[in-house]
Structure 1
Amino acid sequence: MKMQREEKQLDSALEAIIMRVNDLKSAIAAMIFKLENEFETLNWPNFLDNFALISGHLTSLSKILSHDKAPNLKSLTILPLRLSPDKDEELLRLTEGRISTFLHDLVPDYLRTKPEPQAEQKMLQLEAKAANLNYETSHDYNKQVAQYTKVINHVWDIANKTREEWESEAGSRTAQAQTSSASDTHSLVAAVGMGKGLKSDSIQMVQPGVNSVASSMMVGRPGNQQQTPNQSPLVQMGKAPSTIKTNIKAASQIHPYGR
């Protein structure tokens, strides 16, 4: 009777533990899915809600394991009843497709109740190192952490301030009035380079104008049609006729003290 009662308690405890483990597994899978697929829209409150859900499942599992009526699982041993290299559909269903065969090389890993020897040794070394730390060493560590946190916060403030300045400068540049026109620039380039938009009657050539002035000068003075040898063509073409008559005499004729 006692054995039967203990077996019933064990079965009920294992069923409750399996339910809590499945809930915990579902919560962890949902959180991993959100981190991998919804990281762009995931905010901090939703992340804390998922973390609180996982923490609640862990608390429930701890209560079940620490209950007075719960069996002491540490005193129990799991032994494989049958080892076969063939594919087991029932095992595949129970493990949700993770294990298809129960072989000799898989039993030590799946039925292990303690960490691997290397991991256990590393954990013991870390625990011994943490236990041997004195107050001064831990205080120095905390001081270094505080200094690093202060430096990181200072760098963060500088980065935020620089970003705000860049955003304000970019906004002021876009708000300035436009002082140029692309269409006018293209029109000027086309006019200078290809003469586009310029009228032909507004362009005055210099040489034809000079020739016309020179021809009018020659026509207005019929008595002076012959050119003197020392008179340059530029004077003939560019000098306008004068209406003032002058009588230029030699300097020796008008000098009062002539020899």
Structure 2
Amino acid sequence: MDATLSSLVGRIQDIKGSLSSLMMKLEKDQAQWPVLLDSFATLSGQVNMLLKQLKSDKAPALHSRVVWPCNLSNKGDEELEKVTEGRIPVFHHEVVPDYLRTKLDLDLERQQQEMEAEGDKLTPEAAKLQINQLNERAGQILATISQYRENWGAVQTW
């Protein structure tokens, strides 16, 4: 179990490093399209490797393990803050349900079920009509943007 967890932590740290590298590129506006595609391909590969490792027969069934908070406190915990890199300064009764949640919030789950039910009621003809209307509207928006871009270029060349 310890070896599996340390291996998972290593893979997650690799993913975290790739994400932070991508974020730095985006913040510094150094992200050209090929660079973004490479970064996303790297992230995709890393996530797939993590999922394969989780589904592996060699990995113990982590889904059957229970995480139980043993120490709740309203006081700040420097060790917890250090381990979570400043994301969780206090672990108390108000935040535990959010951090240890395994299901969607009940309101979100209800909204999702309502949207799925609404989508199930839609006939294929009505769906095709909505798709065509959306594509038409998107085309109009793109034409408007192109027009403004051309006008902006003409204004800039004064």
| TM-score between both structures, scaled by the size of structure 1 | 0.51
Asked if residue 71 in structure 1 is aligned to residue 71 in structure 2, the reply is no
2:77 is matched with 88
Closer, same or farther: CA 79–46 of 1 in aligned 2, 3 Å: same
| Same amino acid, percent of matched pairs | 34
Question: Which letter does structure 2 place at the counterpart of 1:33?
Answer: M
Gaps of 5+ in 2: none
Equivalent position SS for 1:115: coil
2:49 is matched with 60
The alpha-carbon deviation at position 143 of structure 1 amounts to: 1.0
Once residues 134 and 17 of structure 1 are traced to their aligned partners in structure 2, the CA distance between those partners, rounded to angstroms, is: 45
2:5 is matched with which residue: 14, 20, 24? 14
Once residues 70 and 137 of structure 1 are traced to their aligned partners in structure 2, the CA distance between those partners, rounded to angstroms, is: 47
2:113 is matched with 124
The alpha-carbon deviation at position 14 of structure 1 amounts to: 2.4
The alpha-carbon deviation at position 13 of structure 1 amounts to: 2.8
Once residues 157 and 86 of structure 1 are traced to their aligned partners in structure 2, the CA distance between those partners, rounded to angstroms, is: 56
Closer, same or farther: CA 117–160 of 1 in aligned 2, 3 Å: closer
1:47 is matched with 36
Question: Which letter does structure 1 place at the counterpart of 2:143?
Answer: H
The alpha-carbon deviation at position 156 of structure 1 amounts to: 4.8
The alpha-carbon deviation at position 96 of structure 1 amounts to: 1.5
Offset from partner CA, 1:158-217 (integer Å, 9 cap, x none): 4565567x38x85xxxxxxxxxxxxxxxxxxxxxxxxxxxxxxxxxxxxxxxxxxxxxxx
The alpha-carbon deviation at position 49 of structure 1 amounts to: 1.9
Once residues 50 and 75 of structure 1 are traced to their aligned partners in structure 2, the CA distance between those partners, rounded to angstroms, is: 33
Structure with larger Rg: 1
The alpha-carbon deviation at position 85 of structure 1 amounts to: 3.4
Asked if residue 143 in structure 1 is aligned to residue 128 in structure 2, the reply is no
Once residues 47 and 55 of structure 1 are traced to their aligned partners in structure 2, the CA distance between those partners, rounded to angstroms, is: 12
1:178 is matched with none
Offset from partner CA, 1:24-44 (integer Å, 9 cap, x none): 222222222322332xx4322
| TM-score between both structures, scaled by the size of structure 2 | 0.78
Equivalent position SS for 2:89: coil
Gaps of 5+ in 1: 1-7, 171-259
Alignment of structure 1 residues 69-218 onto 2, 5 Å: 69-159=58-148, 162=151, 166=154
